A and B are shown apart, each in its own frame.
Chain A
Amino acid sequence: MNLREAQAVIEALLFVSNKPVTKEEIMKITNLSDKEVNFCLQNLANQCQAEERGIKLVKIAGGYQLGTKEQYAHYIEDFISQPAKTSLSSAALETLAIILYKQPITRAEIEEIRGVRVEKSLQTLLEKGLIEEVGRKNVIGKPILYGTTKDFLKYFGLFSLDELVSKLD
């Protein structure tokens, strides 16, 4: 299999997948080396950048996935008769930021940092599947510990948590 063909196979794989495909998975199926896969992915990404293409290669949640280009979002919303996605409140985002960096963490500990009660935000984040209960803290009352979920990276279009850390520095 030459590299042009390999790139076609990778594109086909990504086309059918409804979740990010990892580089390891691609390597296993195509029998290509890390370098070769990188080359194909880079080539595919470049080609998608062409003006006449509506999709792009997205590096997300530890893998790769084909997604639609941002500028065409409203056409898609019209097409699937769905309003634009709702966004999280700043209260929920602050709560999530704390959980992200301090997990596993209890409600009381989050409240200590934010200086306000966080029950409602926790409820929202749980409903959206962005956080989950990851256990109980071994102190009096055995309070619930929270952590972020796999869907968290997907929701924010992130490849890994490091991506956020580097932004901060």
Chain B
Amino acid sequence: MGYHVKLEIFEGPFDLLLHLIEKAEVDIYSIPIAQITDQYLDYLERMKKVDLEVTSEFLIMAATLIKLKSAALLPKTEKEDNNGLQDDEDNALKENLIAKLVEYKYFKEIARILKEKEAEASLVYYRPYQEIHKRDVDLSNVLNNITLKQLWDSFKLVMEKSRELKEKEEIKLLKEEITIDQRMNEILNLLIKNKQKKVSFSQLFSLYRTKIQTIITFLALLELIRQNKVSAFQASGFGEIYLSLKLFQPKEDKNK
């Protein structure tokens, strides 16, 4: 290993920015934008070096900082109309950023207090210990007026049902064996038998229920269209798609 990089982890762009401001020992309201921006970008560089994902949130903040930095560096020329507007915009951007930082700092402080409280509270045990009582069911009266016989009958019923369910499941697990070629022939037959030589897309797929059947049908249909045996057309946007038989297939012969 070439070198060790010690990198603090931050919860997001605000967290990082606050850390830099605190390190610089300046007031949030008078951030030295140029300095903080450089440090911020430097940190993103180091994140990349240790393969930490620099998420888009960090990049958006970087863009904002760079904009503010460039605005601060530009000489204040005599106030022309455009410049004046630009200044206002940058000021609003800065004020917005500061307001967000102040708010974030507030919640970070609350989070810190919660962490302390959590640590204290985790050491106290109550009777009976329940981390979360999700179900507030009163179990004391559940078995009132129920005889042993009734319980036994219910139990038998449940067991029977579960046995039935199991049998059904076994039937469900039978492997469906159908190849795309078989399905292609089925679709062709369906179209040939149809008087109008035309079947709608939804009609075709309503014949098949399971996921695998639907997938195979779709693949078969794509293959038929590719081989120029079937054509698909749609009368209007989002309308029904109709599939019809191409009566002549000279192209396939040419290909051979």
Q: Is the CB of B131 within 8 A of A97?
A: no
In this complex, the member of A66, A100, A116, A155 whose beta carbon has the largest number of chain B beta carbons within 10 angstroms is A116
B contact residues around A88 at 8 Å (CB)? 114-115, 118
CB closest residue in chain B, given A149: B132
Contact bitstring A66-102, B, C-beta under 8 A = 1, else 0: 1111110100100010001101101101101110110
Q: Is the CB of A93 within 8 A of B12?
A: no
Q: Is the CB of A113 within 8 A of B107?
A: yes
Q: Is the CB of B131 within 8 A of A85?
A: yes
Q: Is B63 an interface residue (CB 8 A)?
A: no
Q: Is the CB of A157 within 8 A of B12?
A: no
Number of inter-chain CB pairs below 8 Å: 111
Q: Is the CB of A91 within 8 A of B132?
A: no
B contact residues around A90 at 8 Å (CB)? 11, 111, 115
- Distance in Å from the Cβ of B179 to the closest Cβ of chain A? 42
B contact residues around A15 at 8 Å (CB)? 127
B contact residues around A164 at 8 Å (CB)? 110, 113-114, 117
Q: Is B104 an interface residue (CB 8 A)?
A: yes
Interface extent on B, as a size class?
Answer: 35 or more
Q: Is B238 an interface residue (CB 8 A)?
A: no
B contact residues around A76 at 8 Å (CB)? 125
Q: Is B196 an interface residue (CB 8 A)?
A: no
Q: Is B139 an interface residue (CB 8 A)?
A: no
A65 to B121, CA, bound (A): 13
CB closest residue in chain B, given A79: B125
Q: Is the CB of A116 within 8 A of B57?
A: yes
A106 to B233, CA, bound (A): 45
In this complex, the member of A65, A93, A128 whose beta carbon has the largest number of chain B beta carbons within 10 angstroms is A93
Q: Is the CB of B110 within 8 A of A115?
A: no
Contact bitstring B125-142, A, C-beta under 8 A = 1, else 0: 111111111100000000
CB closest residue in chain B, given A112: B100
CB closest residue in chain B, given A156: B117
A87-B119, A94-B108, A164-B113 known; A113-B126 Cβ under 8 A:
no
User: Contact check: which of A70, A97, A117, A168 meets B123 at CB < 8 Å?
Assistant: A70
CB closest residue in chain B, given A158: B117
CB closest residue in chain B, given A86: B122
User: Contact check: which of A18, A71, A73, A155 meets B127 at CB < 8 Å?
Assistant: A18
Number of A residues contacting the other chain (C-beta, 8 Å)?
A: 43
A15 to B134, CA, bound (A): 22
Q: Is B165 an interface residue (CB 8 A)?
A: no
Q: Is the CB of B100 within 8 A of A85?
A: no
Q: Is A167 an interface residue (CB 8 A)?
A: yes
Q: Is A137 an interface residue (CB 8 A)?
A: no
CB closest residue in chain B, given A165: B110
Q: Which of B1-45 contact A (CB under 8 A)?
A: 11-15
In this complex, the member of B113, B119, B123, B131 whose beta carbon has the largest number of chain A beta carbons within 10 angstroms is B123
Q: Is the CB of A65 within 8 A of B126?
A: yes
A97 to B15, CA, bound (A): 15
Q: Is the CB of B118 within 8 A of A66?
A: no
Q: Is the CB of A94 within 8 A of B107?
A: yes
Q: Is the CB of B117 within 8 A of A84?
A: no
A contact residues around B14 at 8 Å (CB)? 114-115
Residues of B at the A interface (CB closer than 8 Å) are 11-15, 55, 57, 61, 100, 103-104, 107-115, 117-134
12 other A-B residue contacts (CB within 8 Å) besides A101-B107, A155-B121, A168-B109: A17-B127, A18-B128, A18-B130, A66-B126, A67-B124, A70-B123, A80-B129, A91-B11, A93-B115, A115-B13, A115-B15, A164-B113
A-B contact pairs, 19 of them (CB 8 A): A18-B130, A58-B124, A67-B125, A69-B124, A70-B123, A73-B125, A84-B122, A87-B119, A93-B115, A96-B111, A98-B107, A100-B110, A113-B107, A115-B12, A115-B13, A115-B14, A116-B11, A116-B12, A156-B118
